[in-house]
Amino acid sequence: MPSVVTTTAAPADAPLLQLREVRKSYGSVVALAGVTADVSGQVIGLLGPNGAGKSTLLKCMLGLTPHEGEARVLGLLAGRESFRVRDRVGYMPELDSYLADLTAVELCTFAGELSGLPRSEAMQRAHAALYYAGLEEKRYLKVEGYSTGMKQRVKLAQALVHDPELLFLDEPTNGLDPRARDDMLELVMDLPHRRGCAIILSTHLLPDVDRICDQVVIMHRGQIRFSGSIEELRRGGPVAEAAAHVYDVEIKAGEEAFAGALARAGCAVERKPPRRLLVRLPDGADSTLLFEQARASGAQIRHLEPNQASLEEAFMRVIGEARPQA
Amino acid sequence: MSRSGQHAAAGRGGAAIHDLGYKRYLGTRRPQSTRWRVLVKNAVSTSWRGWWRMKLWVIGSAITTVGIGVPMYVSREKFIEEVLRRVGTGVRWADALLPFSFQFFAALAFILAATAVSGAVARDLRAGAFEFYFSRPVRPLDYMLGKVVGSALVVATALLAGPLLLSLYRIGLSRDLDEVLPALALVPRMALVGAAGTVAFAVVALAFSSLSSRPRLTTSLWVAFYLLFGGTARLLSEVLGSDDLSALSLPRAVEGLAYGVFQIHLAALPGFDREPGLAASYASLLLYTAAGLIVLHVQVRRAERAGLGGG
């Protein structure tokens, strides 16, 4: 029988991640340049170009690499209490990571036991995790014979089996066909509700982040450039601040007169033939101005929406690079 | 677990999410310091699958044990003892067969190490298992301990279990109490030799297995080391007339240790090779074990540092 070790819970209101001046260098290469942030949320996207420091941050949070500064995960010090952190965190790696000769059930049971669960509990939870991941019929097959999609699912199951409070998912939709990708994202979205665990999703796929994340952390050149909600990301910053006053307007007719009226009212108007206008309102004005000018010029507005920056545009803005040309 | 949540449809995508129900685990967890035992169990159970990796050679070890046990029994006949005494052996043949048996058990241990141990770490490297291990509360030391102890248990089925059974059998062959007491002393000697050989075989084979992510290559390296390097050492020891040089051959070191511990020297008899001395045999096994552990440690640390993730 395993000996008794009580799991000490972190303060309930502690942020998922508390980073204070976290620094890490590999020789002359600075991987993390004094990262400071508090990160909370249910599904958090960790974004950044290659070499931004995402993997290094992940290693620091799992206590796999020594670092300067203070990194806390679930209120626990990532360096000094790394084993307690790893008991409470699940990690789904990007690359293949399994054990030769083991079936999915054996792999997940083994994973649970390594995380300290008693064997019977580990086995029970292995079946449940594989069932949840949609591998109930294939769970007695060896993992090395699995397709890419099945391997992704078993990686998710092994990350879940020990009942983590926080999941790190590294590119979980890599190599998946569109349907398998949808299924995986559904699972990831479902996890916080059904299992109460938070998720940090490291990915390059902005549509995935847009679809399932409520918070986003953007890293670039070893620093966190943005941490907040996706809405804040879209609206935040000087460019987006201005974008909040920009509307995409589609009208039925009379665009010439409408554009003239808007210009006289102090709006900057960009015409998008045949019947669309991009209108930047003057300071202090709101969308009411658009309706007033439409009425005054006899134009009929068919469609009106704030011209939100796309996630990709917002991401490019944060990392300070121009949007790549298609 | 309740099945209340089974086949619950999830959210907007329409993909069915299956759930057997979920309850947060609030029980106790195994202490971190004992988690290497989980790796031991896995190493042994993985080796036990299929016939060719372990079972066949365990059966071979059992047959060898019986095969040695029969002449031990027969040699108790007074007539045979008298014949042996006349050809010059100063020891009981049943006793002499104990260290002699190590050459057979060592051969089986070599095969076991080749099939079950020499690809073990390589298979982990190939499958990316280090990410699996080290993202959990597993230290490199836990990994090494688990692999070494697990592999040693596998090799011990040949190099320790058989000799120990024979030494117990030898006690059973005693005619009277005067013969029992000296026979009892044979058990720890067999255990010592078996254990030293087991650890050396397991560690060296594991060290080879950590050198590449290609299991076939690492197994080939182990076989080459055992047969070619060992054979060369034996040849050189004969050519140069240095018995101790043959201790560079792993099985000869085990045999030399056995004969030395039992203080039995069969080299004077026709057909028997000269065995290395006790000190040389000890030193060889110790050095091989230490070197193997160092190689294994370096490779495992390197794999840990390679760590997680790509970009």
**pLDDT band, residue B273 (cuts 50/70/90):** low
Supply the DSSP string of B85-141, one letter for each residue. HHTT--S-HHHHHHHHTHHHHHHHHHHHIIIIITTHHHHHHHHTHHHHHHTSS--HH
Please determine, for the modelled complex, whether the ipTM score is greater than 0.90.
no
CA distances from A226 to A46, A217, A277 (A): 10, 6, 31
Q: What integer pLDDT is reported at residue A6 of this predicted model?
A: 37
Give B279-306 pLDDT, tens digit per residue.
Answer: 999 999 999 999 999 999 999 998 887 7
A115 and B135 within 8 Å at the Cβ level: the answer is no
| Cβ pair B17, A187 in contact under 8 A | yes
Mean pLDDT, chain A, rounded, equals 85
Q: What integer pLDDT is reported at residue A2 of this predicted model?
A: 40
Sign of the Cα torsion B278, B279, B282, B283 reads negative
Give B112-130 pLDDT, tens digit per residue.
Answer: 999 999 999 999 999 989 9
Q: Above 90 in pLDDT, residue B189?
A: yes
Looking at the complex, does the CB of residue A325 fall below 8 Å from at least one CB of chain B? no
Angstrom distance (rounded) from CA B117 to CA B109? 10
Q: Above 50 in pLDDT, residue B148?
A: yes
Question: How many CB atoms are located within 10 Å of the residue A34 CB?
Answer: 16
Q: What integer pLDDT is reported at residue B231 of this predicted model?
A: 94
Angstrom distance (rounded) from CA A321 to CA A52? 14
Give A250-279 pLDDT, tens digit per residue.
Answer: 888 788 888 899 999 888 888 877 788 888
Choose among B11, B34, B137: nearest Cβ to A189: B11
- Using a CB-CB distance cutoff of 8 angstroms, which residues of chain A are in contact with residue B129? 97-100
- Backbone conformation region of residue A249, classed left if phi is above 0, alpha if psi is from -120 to 50, else beta: beta
Choose among B29, B138, B307: nearest Cβ to A117: B29
Q: Which of residues 132-171 of B touch A (CB under 8 A)?
A: 132-138
Closest-CA residue in chain B for A158?
B132
Q: Which two tokens stand for residue A99?
A: 């054990």
Looking at the complex, does the CB of residue A9 fall below 8 Å from at least one CB of chain B? no
Q: Which of residues 214-233 of A touch B (CB under 8 A)?
A: none
Per DSSP, the three-state class of A100 is coil
Q: Which of residues 43-82 of B touch A (CB under 8 A)?
A: 46, 49
Rounded to a whole number of angstroms, the distance from the CA of A305 to the nearest CA of chain B is 24
| Cβ pair A165, A73 in contact under 8 A | no
Q: Above 80 in pLDDT, residue B197?
A: yes
Angstrom distance (rounded) from CA A289 to CA A296? 10
Looking at the complex, does the CB of residue A134 fall below 8 Å from at least one CB of chain B? yes
Q: Which of residues 58-117 of A touch B (CB under 8 A)?
A: 58-59, 62, 64-65, 82-84, 86-87, 91, 93-102, 110-111, 113-117
A6 and B134 within 8 Å at the Cβ level: the answer is no
Tell me what the mean pLDDT of segment B80-88 comes to. Answer: 65
| Cβ pair A169, A213 in contact under 8 A | no
Q: What integer pLDDT is reported at residue A295 of this predicted model?
A: 86
Q: Is the pTM of this model over 0.95?
A: no
Strand arrangement of the beta sheet that strand A166-170 belongs to = A89-92, A166-170, A198-202, A43-47, A215-220, A223-229
Looking at the complex, does the CB of residue B122 fall below 8 Å from at least one CB of chain A? no
Q: Calculate the dihedral angle through the C-alpha atoms of B147, B150, B152, B155, rounding to the nearest 10 degrees.
A: -120
Which range (A125-139, B11-25, B63-77, B135-149) has the least confidence?
B11-25
Rounded to a whole number of angstroms, the distance from the CA of A325 to the nearest CA of chain B is 23
Rounded to a whole number of angstroms, the distance from the CA of B122 to the nearest CA of chain A is 10
The one-letter code for the residue type at A128 is: A
Q: Calculate the dihedral angle through the C-alpha atoms of A285, A286, A292, A293, rounding to the nearest 10 degrees.
A: 70
Q: What integer pLDDT is reported at residue A136 of this predicted model?
A: 84
Which has more pLDDT, A75 or B178? A75
Tell me what the mean pLDDT of segment B270-275 comes to. Answer: 66
Looking at the complex, does the CB of residue A175 fall below 8 Å from at least one CB of chain B? no
Give A12-59 pLDDT, tens digit per residue.
Answer: 567 899 999 999 998 888 999 999 999 999 999 999 888 888 888 988
Q: Which residues contact A213 (CB under 8 A, 6 or more apart)?
A: A41, A43, A44, A45, A201, A230
Locate all alpha helices (DSSP H) within B114-249, ordered by sequence: 120-127, 129-134, 140-159, 161-172, 177-184, 186-209, 215-223, 230-240
Rounded to a whole number of angstroms, the distance from the CA of A96 to the nearest CA of chain B is 6
Q: What integer pLDDT is reported at residue A243 of this predicted model?
A: 53
Mean pLDDT, chain B, rounded, equals 86
Choose among B17, B30, B129: nearest Cβ to A116: B30
A183 and B15 within 8 Å at the Cβ level: the answer is yes
Rounded to a whole number of angstroms, the distance from the CA of A187 to the nearest CA of chain B is 7
Per DSSP, the three-state class of B175 is coil
Q: Calculate the dihedral angle through the C-alpha atoms of A160, A166, A170, A173, rounding to the nearest 10 degrees.
A: 60
Closest-CA residue in chain A for B140?
A64
Closest-CA residue in chain B for A65?
B305
A5 and B129 within 8 Å at the Cβ level: the answer is no
Give A78-110 pLDDT, tens digit per residue.
Answer: 988 988 899 999 999 888 888 888 999 999 999
